[in-house]
Copies of this chain bind each other. A is one copy, B any other.
């Protein structure tokens, strides 16, 4: 049974969380698409990455992330992290009374709309792929679609090491090796199922020149915008919204690396918090 609909104050902030830095690509899109919204961002940098951990551990961490954001009375929570979304969203929806926007559903819907060959590729972390969340959602939307998944555990470290530029033999070789099975399956649509992957967009496009590329985080922002508009809960303020950033490890390091993703110096207001009773 669904909980009774809440009366939501449109002036409340939106909560966004990620295992670390990657979610800032989603924040960047949010700032463009929903400039009047107040945003509370949480990056669980003391326990990053989630992508190679187990379901139980990911659910435990995600619960603590959601609970933290609930403390700000958020009107919606955007799970930027595909891993947390894939492994823990259903559980969180059962436990918390707040709209939770994932990345998987919106990206899957875009992919199903885009594909003509009915062969869709998905790249993500080991945990995202292991969860089977993308194939489950896509095959429910269109049972004639075939989903070819590839776990890409090296892509997050490579992006964070700054190795995401065209012409870098390391990232190009790694991506080629990961994408080869998808090329052979002649997919015409690929979901970049991790918030770090927008930085690899050009190289993926070079390797799959015929395919439509769908960035999961951007799809979730489009979905959130539509949802807020439909329910009349867009923030009515005229000016730019306020943005607070929280991390579970040293804020200085987050601020330094965060500019890679956000491409603005907005991170001077980053605070440290401790989760998990540790």
Q: Mark A243-256, 1 if CB is under 8 A from B, else 0.
A: 00000111001000
Knowing A174-B170, A277-B278 are in contact, say whether A250-B56 is a contact too (CB < 8 A): yes
Q: A64: which B residues are within 8 A, CB to CB?
A: 278
Q: In chain A between 260 and 274, which residues have their CB closer than 8 angstroms to a CB of chain B?
A: none
Given the interface pairs A170-B173, A170-B174, the reply to whether A57 lies near B249 with Cβ below 8 Å is yes
User: Complex: how many Å from CA A277 to CA B274?
Assistant: 12
**In contact, A54 and B278 (Cβ under 8 angstroms):** no
Task: Across the interface, name the chain B residue whose C-beta is closest to A169.
Answer: B173
Known contacts: A54-B253, A57-B46, A278-B276. The answer to whether A161 contacts B170 by CB under 8 A is: no
What separation, in Å, do the CA atoms of A174 and B19 have in the docked complex?
26
Least CB distance from A107 to B in Å reads 25
Residues of B within 8 A of A173 (CB): 169-170
Residue of B nearest to A177 (CB): B170
A158 CB–B CB distance under 8 Å: yes
Report yes or no: B161 in contact with A60, Cβ–Cβ below 8 A: no
Residue in B52, B154, B163, B250 whose CB lies within 8 Å of A54: B250
- Interface positions of A from 44 to 68, Cβ below 8 Å from B: 45-47, 52-54, 56-57, 60, 64
- Residue from B46, B54, B56, B277 within 8 A of A277 (CB atoms): B277
Chain B hits for A154, CB < 8 A = 157-158, 161, 163
Interface size on A, residues (CB 8 A): 28
Closest to A275 in B: B278
Chain B residues, Cβ within 8 Å of A52: 160
Q: Is A153 at the interface (CB under 8 A from chain B)?
A: yes
Note all chain B residues with C-beta closer than 8 A to A153: 157, 160-161
Report whether A57 and B170 are in contact in the complex, using a CB–CB cutoff of 8 Å: no
A243 to B154 Cα, complex, angstroms: 32
Q: Is the CB of B54 within 8 A of A249?
A: yes
> Whole-angstrom distance from the CB of A135 to the nearest CB of chain B?
21
Residues in B with CB closer than 8 Å to A249 are 53-54, 57
Q: How far is the CA of A53 from the CA of B53 in the complex (A)?
A: 17
| Nearest B-chain residue to A130, judged by Cβ | B253
B250 touches A60 (CB 8 A): no
CA distance A169 to B278 in the complex (A): 42
Interface residues of A (CB under 8 A from B): 45-47, 52-54, 56-57, 60, 64, 153-154, 157-158, 160-161, 163, 169-170, 173-174, 248-250, 253, 276-278
**Further pairs besides A47-B47, A60-B278: 5, Cβ < 8 Å:** A46-B57, A57-B248, A154-B161, A276-B278, A277-B278
